[in-house]
Amino acid sequence: MRFDYDDQNIFAKILRGEIPNKTVLETEHTLAFEDIAPQAPVHVLVIPKGAYVSYDHFARDASDAEILDFTRAVARICEEADVEAGFRAISNARAHGVQEVPHFHVHILGGRPLGRMLERG
Ligand code: 5GP
């Protein structure tokens, strides 16, 4: 699979500081910030600073250090956010996954019961 990264996507602009964001956590390889249109009381987006299009791209090509940093950042966000009662981590990819922003991100959603994972159909 070939992954073509578009450096004009909105998260690339956030990483370059061209668009403001409400940062939750920043580490060497990872940035986490509030979703602009939250779908739950907790709705944080976690993104690598590297140019990866989707989860499978990141999982295949990122360095061990990037993957470790990203994963530990998720743990810190869950620790610090109000998700002790539970949360959902979602990563949409490409057309069938209805991915809007083509820079890999994980949504961390929580703070209320989230219902079933998928509607049938
Ligand atoms: P996707 O559908 O690609 O998984 O999710 C993209 C997410 O990015 C959406 O939940 C959307 O609300 C969020 N988003 C889009 N543009 C911006 C922005 O400029 N700032 C922030 N903080 N979130 C954004």
Q: Is residue 3 part of a domain?
A: no
What average pLDDT does range 91-99 have in this prediction?
97
- Provide the percentage of residues in the chain whose pLDDT is more than 70: 99
Rounded to the nearest angstrom, the distance between the alpha carbon of 59 and the centre of ligand 1 is 21
Rounded to the nearest angstrom, the distance between the alpha carbon of 36 and the centre of ligand 1 is 6
- Cα 2 to its chain centre, rounded Å, is 21
Q: Is residue 5 part of a domain?
A: no
Cβ neighbours for 20, distance < 8 A, ≥ 6 positions apart: 14
Across the chain, mean pLDDT equals: 97
Q: Is residue 120 part of a domain?
A: no
Give the pair of three-digit tokens for residue 121.
């159909």
Structural domain that includes position 62: 10-110
Q: Into how many domains does the chain fold?
A: 1
Q: Binning pLDDT at 50, 70 and 90, where does residue 37 land?
A: very high
Residue 95 CB–ligand 1 contact under 6 Å: no
In the 8-state DSSP scheme, what is residue 9? S
